[in-house]
Amino acid sequence: MAENGIRQTAGRGRRYDTVLDTIGDTPVIRINKLAPEHVTLYVKAEAFNPAASVKDRLAVNIIEAAERAGTLKPGQTVVEATSGNTGIGLAMVCAQKGYPLVVTMHDGFSVERRRLMRMLGAKVVLTPKANGAVGMVRKATELANAHGWFLARQFETEANADIHEATTAREILADFADTRLDYVVTGYGTGGTVTGIGRVLRKERPETKIILSEPANAQLLGSGNGQERDETGAPAAKHPAFEAHVIQGWTPDFIPLVLQEAVDGAYYDGLVPASGPDGVTWSRRLAAEEGIFTGISGGATFAAAIETAKSAPEGSVILCMLPDTGERYLSTPLFEGIPEEMSEEEKEIAASTPL
C-alpha cells in the first residue's frame, strides 16, 4: 500500500519472450472467511497460469522434453486424449511453437473446452461418451499410429510428474519456507501433481502430510483394486470402481501410470473423497465469499481440505490446490440456476431510477 492507501504495483522486473515463460509461480492465497477458526488455510491458484489451469505446466514440459529428446520433429502433428485442460494447455504451447495439434475428447465434457481448444488452433475429434476416457485414449493412439503423429501420453509420460517436481513443489517450498506446512490437499487427474510434489516433500518437508482426494462415487484408489494395463502402461480396460461423475478433470476411468508412482511410493498420507455436489457448493462459496473463481475440481479439492481441517490439530496450516478457473464450466452443473436474465430484485433495482 502507498501512504494514501491506494494499492500499488512495481512490475515483475522482467519482460517475457513468449507466453510460455509465464507458466508457473502461481500465487498462494489465504482463505479469510471460509476457513475453520482453528487452522490457517491457503489455496494455490493455478488459474493464474496463462491458459488458466495447472495443466499448462505439463503441456509445456511434454513438448519441450520431446524436443530435447528428438522424438518430436519440427512441424510434426501432436495428438493427445484429454478432458480439456491438458488439451487447452497443449493448444497454447503448440500455437506458440508451431506444431499442429489434434485432441481426442469424449462428447460428455463441457462444450466451452472444445471451443477454447479450437480458438487456439487445435482440431478436436469427439469420441462417444459411452467409451469413456479409455476410448478417447485409444482413439488418440490409433491416430498417432496411423499418421505418424507424436502422442503426448500425459497419463504415462515421465515429463508430467517431472515438471511438478521441478516447479510446483519448489514453489510450495519457497512460499512456506518461513512457516509450518502441515497438510497439502490435492485431487488427481493424471496424478502428476501429487507425484511431483510427493517426490520433493517426502524428502524436504517430511512433516507435511499429503492428502489426496477422488470422487466419492468413483473411488478408484479407495477401492483397493489395481489397474489393468497394456505393455506401454496405458489402461487396458476401465477400472471396475469407476462411475460417471461431474468433477471434470478429476479421476478418469482408470488409474494413470503417472499416479501409480505415488501409490507405490506412498507419497500420500490419506484419501478423502469428495462428492460432485460438494464440489459445486464450495466452488460457488469460494467465488461469492472469497472472490476466488475455480471450477468444480477446485471446489471438490477445497471440500477435501475443509474435511481435513475438521480433524487437524489447533494451529495447523493447510494448502489446497485449485486446478483451474470456473469459466471452464459454464455449461456444467456449476452454473445451473445462475440466470441470464434479470431477477425480480434486479428489476426493482433497475426501476428505482429513471434511466
What CA–CA distance (Å, rounded) separates 28 from 21?
Answer: 19
Bridge partners (DSSP) of residue 212 are 186, 271
| β 123-127/101-106 pair status | parallel
Q: Collect all residues with Cβ–Cβ distance below 8 Å to 271 and sequence separation of at least 6.
A: 211, 212, 213, 214, 219, 221, 222
Pull the grid cell for residue 200: 520433493
Catalytic residue among 55, 139, 209, 238: 55
Q: Which of 300, 274, 48, 308 is nearest to 181 (CA)?
A: 308
Q: Collect all residues with Cβ–Cβ distance below 8 Å to 210 and sequence separation of at least 6.
A: 183, 184, 186, 194, 197, 198, 201, 267, 268, 269
Catalytic residue among 53, 213, 283, 297: 297
Is the Cβ–Cβ distance between 213 and 262 less than 8 Å?
A: no
What CA–CA distance (Å, rounded) separates 285 from 29?
Answer: 15
**Greatest CA separation for the chain:** 72
Q: Is 53 a catalytic residue?
A: no
What CA–CA distance (Å, rounded) separates 127 from 101?
Answer: 16
Order of strands across the sheet that contains 270-271: 28-30, 39-45, 316-322, 183-186, 209-212, 270-271
- DSSP letter string, 324-341: B-GGGGTTSGGGTT--SS
Q: Is 55 a catalytic residue?
A: yes
Q: Show which residues are catalytic.
A: 55, 297
